[in-house]
Amino acid sequence: MKPVNVADYREAARRRLPKVLFDYIDGGAYAEWTLAENVEALKRLTLRQRVLRDVSKLKFRTELFGQELSMPVALAPVGYAGMNARRGEVQAARAAKAAGVPFCLSTVGLCSIGEVAKAVAPPWFQLYMIRDRGLMDELLATAREAGCPALLFTVDLPVPGVRYRDARNTAIATTFAEHARQAMDGLSHPAWLWDVQVNGGPHCMGNLASATQGLNNLGAYWGWVGRNFDPSVTWKDIDWVRERWPGPLVIKGILDAEDAREARAFGADGVVVSNHGGRQLDGAPASITALPAIADAVGGDMKVLMDGGIRSGLDVLKALALGADACLIGRAWVFALGARGEAGVTHVLNLMRQELRLAMSLTGCLDVADAGPELLA
């Protein structure tokens, strides 16, 4: 069956990928209430259909941090995405460039900043606060020297969330039986095994290769994250980052208007309204629920982006209507990457554009810059 929407790509990825990888993408924290609510809260919003508005000429272009986008969408940073297709972050970056939208590379991506920049173009770069400030200094210097257009600094992972699916899949294999189960999981997905495991190396976090030598599986890397991400981080650490990063700085992981005001006070150029895809605090509000108050608080002074639950161009328009300047898509592009590689990501971005066009046409929205709450019933 040819995928025709993100849900189809999710099913295609489920079939092609080993269970441990699919569940790592698809799963969330604890009972996954927030994960589900990200999608359901968007579904509950209804668009206000209008007619006879002359929608023959629509404007999709927007500008973020000095960069022109063909539509208000960017590929969100997703850790370990390169394990879903051969050198997966490079494939996704190529699809994003062809579509005229940004690709953001995760600190814990398989491909390094240098690999993506050389193969495609300098990506946006996402950074976590790491205990080793020397390593952080090196990462920021690498991003500067590569010409990364923006830095997304993620602040909602001072400690790793608890994800039951990963625990059930024995992501941190310690016994012979657990290692054997993971090996059989890979062997039962031969197309993925040949593409990624056999031909897709090196299988390490490219940006952290020097710090993670000897680690060779998802569980081991996740354990490294738990030991090395810094739970003592405060707003004052934003000053430390700002001293080393002269370009656009975006704080990712904001769910409260007061935190958004703090980000503005500490010199951020934008925020991403995000609950980490429901992967951190289960019971936190859906991103779309938190968006309006944050947009009201800081939207006139800085760019407001949103991620979490975006599965279509209709969802994008709903987020724009509630104050977002653009949306980041995460699972949507990784499902497509896992199913069909670069071609899948290209198709999902085309679908997003077609769906956004239809939603704008049937709500009478002629320009994404003019989208507002009047588009919602």
The predicted-structure confidence for 152-167, as pLDDT tens digits, reads as follows 999 999 988 999 998 8
Tell me the whole-structure pTM to 2 decimals.
0.95
pLDDT band at 277, cuts 50/70/90? very high
Helix H or strand E segment including 118: helix 113-119
Burial class of residue 49 in the structure, from the number of CB atoms within 10 Å of its CB (0-12 exposed, 13-18 middle, 19+ buried): exposed
Active site includes 203? no
- The mean pLDDT value for 46-57 works out to 97
> What DSSP state is assigned to residue 69?
E
Q: Any idea which of 9-18, 70-79, 180-189 has the lowest mean pLDDT?
A: 180-189
pLDDT at 285: 98
pLDDT at 96: 98
Please, what are the domains in the chain?
A: 6-367 (3.20.20.70)
- The mean pLDDT value for 250-265 works out to 98
Q: Which of 179, 189, 203, 276 is catalytic?
A: 276
pLDDT at 171: 59
CA Rg value for the chain: 20
Q: Tokens at residue 328, please?
A: 């980041």
CA angle 217-140-213, nearest 5°? 25
pLDDT band at 360, cuts 50/70/90? very high
